[in-house]
Structure 1
Amino acid sequence: MIDAATIHQCADPGLKPGVVEKFIRVAGSPDPLAVTIRAGNRVILVMPPKTPDDAMELVRRYVGQAMVRVGVTQYPAGLGVTDVAELKPDLVDVCANIRMGTALFGKVYRIVVKWYGAPVDEAFGDAIDAWKTGYFDGKYVFDQPDPGSLPAHKDELDIGDKPLKGDDAAKSATVTDNGARQVKEPDDPNKAGIRIDLTVIGVDKPK
């Protein structure tokens, strides 16, 4: 398990400690070497890595072919990377992973809060869902611009100190302008934040 002192030391200061702890508890992993690989809705089972080198070998093998999440925050490996050679062992370093993951989740959370208009419990639940799927309101959330500081709200709740209601953390729908709910797009390995041209390494792109 990752201790609270490490989380507070390494996390992005733009997020409240309670939000960071709940984010890692709900969406992350206690194992800094954890690598999760998905192709569409299918999880690809791999041998759990025992060393940082083993973990990075898995990441490099699957980045560009599937959605790869790694480390304490299950950070989307390959985000913004143009070549597998650019992937760094920082991904499996506890502090670096927490720093990168909480900074990116902070942006996702602010995007969702702006959509809601206030930092309500539902916003956190949908932010977790967006982190896991990569989508919010029909858009690939990791590519969206950061809206900046959270909107002021006199009744703002510190959701880090409150349990989620119902299935908020696992919701997979958004509300359209007419009030109807629509299912968000499933994971798309082609939009996992990867900019790698697989043709140059002789690997076919996912169908």
Structure 2
Amino acid sequence: MLDAALIKECADPFVKPAIVEQFVRAAGSADPLTVTVKSGGRMILVPKPASVEDAMAIVRQYAGHAVVRVGLTQLPAGVGVTKPADLKPDLVDACQNLRIGTAMFAKVLRIVAKWYGNPTGEDVFQQMFEDAVYAWKTGEFEGVSIFHAEDPGRAITTQKKPQAADTAEAATVDAEAPMQTEVESLDEKKIGAAEMRVDLSRIGAQP
């Protein structure tokens, strides 16, 4: 379980703590130094990093040649850079990884919600969340690279009766794409779900 203080300080402010925690539980890692590498849909065994330096050495070795995921959110390595040498240790910093990862996942949720027609009921949100997690893991949604797709910038809510304070106009969050297109084959699409009631209507809203 993520520390509540870490979520409060570092997660994207428009993503409620409950969904941050469930996202990391479903798609991330408990160890901020975790690096996973896949090529052709197959896992490549890499040494477990004992330090930031070890983790970054693995990331730089495989980035651009394989699908590399790092840190608490298993963020796709290469966000905002064009060559492996430019990859920064921020990738395995718990706070920075959580901040970047939750902002990117918020975009993924908005894309999935738009495909569903932006429903507001709680009953459909869990399915949208599962589809968003699957898209995050595979890098693809409905045949399109999810990290390269345009952010629709639409608000998402799971409240049956949206409150007036949560009706601000949504805006696009600028999330840069990773160096590699990530399409991985998974044996199972169904992600373990826990019942939740969270408000995401402020995702993407301008302050």
TM-score bucket of the superposed structures, by smaller chain: 0.7 to 0.9
Deviation at 1:190, TM superposition (A): 4.8
Task: Return 5+ residue gaps in structure 2 as ranges.
Answer: 163-178, 184-207
Q: Which position in structure 1 is the counterpart of 2:41?
A: 41
Write the letter of the residue equivalent to 2:29. S
Question: TM (normalized to structure 1)?
Answer: 0.73
Q: Number of matched residues?
A: 162
CA distance in 2, matches of 1:156, 1:5: 29
Q: CA RMSD in A?
A: 2.1
Write the letter of the residue equivalent to 1:8. K
Q: Which position in structure 1 is the counterpart of 2:181?
A: 191
1:137 aligned to 2:170?
no
The CA deviation string for residues 116-154 of structure 1, in whole angstroms up to 9 with x for no partner, is 122521100000000000000110010111111325676
1:42-57 → structure 2 map (5 Å cutoff): 42-57=42-57
Q: Which position in structure 2 is the counterpart of 1:85?
A: 85
CA distance in 1, matches of 2:16, 2:116: 19
Mapped contact 1:114–1:150 kept (Cα < 8 A):
no
CA distance in 1, matches of 2:91, 2:98: 9
Write the letter of the residue equivalent to 1:18. A
1:8 aligned to 2:8?
yes
Write the letter of the residue equivalent to 2:132. A
The CA deviation string for residues 84-129 of structure 1, in whole angstroms up to 9 with x for no partner, is 1210000010000000000000100110011112252110000000
Q: Which position in structure 2 is the counterpart of 1:177?
A: none
Mapped contact 1:110–1:147 kept (Cα < 8 A):
yes
Runs of at least 4 residues off by over 3 Å: 151-154
CA distance in 1, matches of 2:159, 2:14: 19
CA distance in 2, matches of 1:152, 1:90: 31
Q: Which position in structure 2 is the counterpart of 1:98?
A: 98
Percent sequence identity is 54
1:117-196 → structure 2 map (5 Å cutoff): 117=117, 118=119, 120-151=125-156, 155=160, 190-192=180-182
